[in-house]
Amino acid sequence: MTSRPVALVTGGGRGIGAAISHRLARDGYDVLLTYNSSSKPAEMVVDEIRNSGGDALAVKVDCSDEGEVGLLGIHAWMNRKIDALVLNHGRYDRVPAAEMELDDLRRTMKANFEGAVNVWKVVQPHLAPHASMVVVSSQLATRGSPHGADYAASKAALSTWARSLALAVGPEGKRVNVLAPGYVDTDILAGDSDSKRAQRIEEVPLKRIGTGDDMASIVSFLLSNDAAYITGAVLHANGGLYLP
């Protein structure tokens, strides 16, 4: 019996990451997902996947901590080889551009950018020969943000690194693509007032906020053989809100 392929999803216990974990499980992957501070939602995702006939495991990894990421690299599931890698973890502190301190930038870059690179470095030796990778970035990586300059900068670095990586590993048969979401109904928007949410909806040409499932469907496509000739792409999924 052929074993199921393995997907590693960082930040896979909440929001977009949870939706991706569920979708990849339905696609036939066993899912190894990481969380940082929220163990209960992550374990709920694992239970739901297992109850649906799949297999999943949640591990605590602070992606800004080199030691914890190093432990991920020696996890038992790495022996099975990783077929799909989704770098989805991140932090967003809403630091106004004009007030951003270097410490704010360093903290966000360490989690969102350096953490992603470090995960790649420890997982890379364990990737299957034709593994595919999706990096979850943001529309703000190219659009900028007056109230999240550190976040936008970290995602810009992440996107450019991912495209560089696509050029480097393409000859090996590996693919790397970038998903750049717009407004998505996650914790980042949870504090919106009714009027603010209505304003967001009005701004989007498709007249709705994106869902985690919307993003998960795109990740599923980018990891699949249907996207076999796509690498180094940045796919903007924002309902028409931003057209770079």
- Max intra-chain CA distance, the chain: 58
Note if 151 is an active site residue.
yes
* pLDDT tens figures, 73-130: 999 999 999 999 999 999 988 888 889 999 999 999 999 999 999 999 999 999 999 9
* pLDDT tens figures, 46-80: 999 999 999 999 999 999 999 999 999 999 999 99
The catalytic position among 29, 35, 92, 151 is 151
- Tell me the pTM: 0.95
Give the Cα separation of 97 and 149 in Å (integer): 5
pLDDT-based confidence at 1, cuts 50/70/90?
Answer: very low
Question: What was the pLDDT predicted at 2?
Answer: 55
What mean pLDDT comes out for the span 206-233?
Answer: 97
Classify 6-237 by CATH class. alpha beta
What mean pLDDT comes out for the span 218-230?
Answer: 98
Question: What was the pLDDT predicted at 143?
Answer: 95
Question: What was the pLDDT predicted at 186?
Answer: 85
